[in-house]
Amino acid sequence: MSYADQLFIENCRSILNDGTWDTEYNVRPRWEDGQPAHTKKQFGIVNRYDLSREFPLLTLRKINTRAAIDEILWIWQKKSNNVQDLNSKIWDSWADESGSIGKAYGYQMAVKHEYSDGMFDQVDRVLHDLKNNPNSRRMLTNIYVHQDLHEMNLYPCAYSVTFNVSGNKLNAILNQRSQDMLVANGWNICQYAALIHMFAQVSGLVAGELVHVIADAHIYDRHIPIIEKLIEQQPFPAPRLEINEEVTDFYRFTPDDFAFPDYQYHPFNQKIEVAV
């Protein structure tokens, strides 16, 4: 089975069996009908994915890999905070009339900072160090910027990535303050695994480990029956990743440069409510 499926099943069973409900609290998220969206959660889940062995893609249901990679490029490559630059509707609920989500996500990636060796934004700083100082222990990004939170339409969930090179392998730690397991887990893992592959390729490295740290891993109350049914399925093997090896500039990657030719997955036709 796909290792991503194995961890997803283990995480969900742990939350369902041993998690903590927040039903005694007046929670912020709401369903479309206005009812509070309560969760059952676990604190401090840490998952490790060896990208040199397989690409971590869920097979329990289909992950839209093209849309997932398009979104990570929207943040890290386009450095945009406007949904008009995104080829899906997933951010529309948080956008204003102009399409902006405020000073969030891509906006923070584009802010330049002064270093002793020049001006860089967060993405270009990491790419520069991977090529010129790969043994650095200072390669990280952080988009949870407190002075700008009041101008963000949604606080960042996946907010920090620390990159580290061991030998010729590029590893990364993704820190996430909050994760909706049904909606976001498979999506985020696909995105950041793809990002590590891209950064490794343009830096003359190979993809190593992705370590995913989730502070608040939760399942929403209305998602529990869906999760219970989902994790009883038998996963398929992990798919093979084909990436366009001719791309040597991170800013030239597109979703078309990724393919998963033997991706098998279970059909999933149920509409998922998203709490906002």
Binding site residue list for dUMP:
137-138, 177-180, 188, 218-220
CA distance 22 to 40: 7
CA distance 241 to 142: 28
Q: Which of 90, 157, 206, 215 is catalytic?
A: 157
196-218-105-171 Cα dihedral, nearest 10 degrees: -20
Interhelix angle 181-202/65-76, rounded to 10 degrees, is 60
CA distance 207 to 52: 6
Binding-site residues: 64, 137-138, 177-180, 188, 218-220, 275
DSSP 236: P
CA distance 47 to 169: 18
Q: For Cα atoms 199, 77, 108, give the angle at the middle one, nearest 5 degrees.
A: 110
| Residue 12 annotated among the catalytic residues of the structure | no
Kindly list the catalytic residues: 157
